[in-house]
Amino acid sequence: MTLFDKIKNNHYVKHIGIALIGIIVLSWLVFFGLKIFTRHGKTYLVPDLTGLTVPEAQTVTNRYGFKLEVSDSTFVGGRQKGTVVSHIPKCDERVKKNRRIFVTINAFSIPKVAMPKVTGVSYRQAKVTLESSGLKVGKLIYRPDPMKNYVLGQNYNGETIKTGSMISKDEPIDLILGNGYSSETKKVTEVIGLSFLDASETLNNEYINIGATIYDSSVKTYSDSINAKIYKQHPNSGISVRLGTYVDLWLSVNPEQFNE
């Protein structure tokens, strides 16, 4: 009698074998069932919710099978009140269905700050003071004065603003600067390929103002406006202009604009 025949005729061994097979089959069925129930391995890309209102973001997350939860608010200048500033998980991360998306929205009320004194100092010092107070530089207005690029006055909405006045955060403060009685000119810096914020910083540091800002038809959302780059400027780079001259900017997110 062979070994196989002995095992086949041994009822004890046979029952153990049947039990083992049953355990294997049951384990496989349980694993397969859980895999279907939990959709194991099936993930979805988190959409970009920035710039959307909470109801708009809710509609998008519902479409993807996610759950939206407002977790915090902050103030970001230039953005619409109540819109999504950021979210976790971030855009394009892969998550499973029913995942909670925690969003931070832009505050509905803008905090107030006290207007600092920036007259009698250099433009660069005034700029640092304004930014550290939560404000920003607006227009640069030149007047005849021997103190070149020193701040002669601080204006808000066309009128003088007194030191200590309460003003909404992130508001632009126009600075009146002395021109040193000179007809000094500056060559316009090229800002093609830069974002609006980077171009503003670059030109302001050269004592040049931002003029008209034109977005092409490719810019449809707030995220587009943040990601847009400058593809055209006027006056062009290299042209000599007077201090305080305005430079117009054209922006796009369409790569073809930069290949022309």
Which of 106, 127, 149 finishes a domain? 106
Q: Is there a single domain that holds both residue 51 and residue 99?
A: yes
Q: Is there a single domain that holds both residue 74 and residue 170?
A: no
Q: Is there a single domain that holds both residue 11 and residue 52?
A: no
Q: What angle do CA 255, 223, 127 make, to 5 degrees?
A: 100
Q: Is there a single domain that holds both residue 24 and residue 50?
A: no
CATH number at residue 140: 3.30.10.20
Q: Is there a single domain that holds both residue 180 and residue 213?
A: yes
Nearest residue to 139 via CA among 171, 176, 172, 174: 174
Domain count, the chain: 3
**pLDDT attached to residue 80:** 86
Q: Is there a single domain that holds both residue 205 and residue 250?
A: yes
Q: Is there a single domain that holds both residue 162 and residue 241?
A: yes
Q: Is there a single domain that holds both residue 117 and residue 208?
A: yes
Q: Is there a single domain that holds both residue 251 and residue 225?
A: yes
Q: Is there a single domain that holds both residue 124 and residue 32?
A: no
One digit per residue, the tens of pLDDT, for the chain of length 260 reads 554 555 555 565 566 666 677 677 676 665 655 555 555 558 889 999 998 999 999 999 999 899 999 999 988 877 888 999 999 999 889 898 889 999 999 988 888 999 999 999 999 999 999 999 999 999 999 998 888 899 999 999 999 999 999 999 989 999 999 988 777 788 999 999 999 999 999 999 899 999 999 999 999 877 788 889 999 999 999 999 988 999 999 999 998 888 76
Q: How far is CA 188 from CA 184, 240, 243, 246, in A?
A: 13, 6, 10, 10
Domain that includes residue 167, residue range: 112-258
Q: Is there a single domain that holds both residue 212 and residue 138?
A: yes
